[in-house]
A = this chain, B = another copy of it.
Amino acid sequence: MRIGELSRETGVAIPTIKYYVREGLLPAGRLTSPNQASYDDGHVRRLRLIRGLIDVGGLTVSAVREVLAAVDSPGEPVHEVLGAAQHAITPRPAATPEGMERARQSVAELIRHRGWRVGPDHPAFEALAVALATFRGVGRGEFEEILDDYAAACERVAAADLAWLGRNAEVDGMVECVVVGTVLGDAVLAAMRRLAHVEASARKFEGAAEGAAGEGAAAEGAGGR
């Protein structure tokens, strides 16, 4: 297909497509004449992946470049490539040295308590410490009281993620599947947590009377599987 059709198919403007090609995110089309190129379904899929990482995942163009480089390196162990992708995704802002030290101890304690086999060199270890140090910095250090609930929830999500990966990723697409699942999964989790907050708030603040008046009275039994 020509670039115009690629643009219509994906909803990405032609100048943006050309920009992604220049930036090395999208492979150039196959030249069919000196000033005409042809694109295929691989371009459609890659372009949708780029837009998903940027629009839904909130990644920068340079983070996307790093992630796609990992996706395109054949033969690298999944662990390493996932680490590279996560490194690009994980923010690393500043906090006071004392606050960070204390927060790192909390993270190490949590990991030990849960029996997780992951060390302080993982980028997410530091990202978690930054978030905890920030909670404490704004006067909400007691947030750590509920860390264990977060950890249990994350264990459930991670187990589901890995099972999904095992069922659906052909070997070729494994790394792309990991990247997509990691980045878009964050967006799913954030949106769904807000929806769950509404239900939890409704139960807590509005009380049983209003709950019974609505149609969601059977909500308690909705634990599914």
Task: Find residues 124-161 in chain A having any chain B CB closer than 8 Å to their own CB.
Answer: 124-125, 127-128, 130-132, 134-135, 137-140, 142-143, 145-161
Interface of A is mostly: helix
Q: Determine the chain B residues whose CB is within 8 A of the CB of A205 once the complex forms.
A: 78-79
8 Å CB interface, A195-225 against B: 195-202, 204-205, 211, 214-216, 218-225
| Known contacts A58-B91, A188-B132, A195-B124: A180-B138 contact under CB 8 Å | yes
Question: At the interface, yes or no: A14 with Cβ under 8 Å from chain B?
Answer: no
Copies in the complex: 2
A14 to B130, CA, bound (A): 22
Interface residue A94 (Cβ < 8 Å from any Cβ of B): yes
- CB contact between A58 and one of B58, B149, B177 (< 8 Å): that residue: B58
Do A187 and B55 contact each other (CB < 8 Å), given the known contacts A198-B118, A218-B115? no
A190 CB-CB contact with B under 8 Å: yes
Partner of A187, one of B131, B140, B198: B131
From A78, A89, A155, A163, name the one whose CB has the most chain B CB atoms within 10 angstroms.
A155
Chain B residues in 8 Å Cβ range of A184: 131, 134-135, 140, 143
- CB within 8 A of A181: which of B143, B153, B158, B187? B143
Chain B residues near A186 (CB, 8 Å)? 186, 189-190, 193
CB–CB B152/A200 < 8 A: no
Of A158, A192, A200, A216, chain B has the most CB atoms within 10 Å of the CB of A192
A160 to B168, CA, bound (A): 32
| A82 contacts chain B at the CB level, 8 A cutoff | yes
A88 is an interface residue with CB less than 8 A from chain B: no
A118-B199, A124-B195, A154-B195 given; name 13 further pairs at CB < 8 Å. Answer: A48-B138, A51-B93, A55-B91, A82-B201, A114-B222, A115-B199, A115-B218, A125-B195, A143-B181, A143-B185, A149-B159, A157-B196, A161-B197
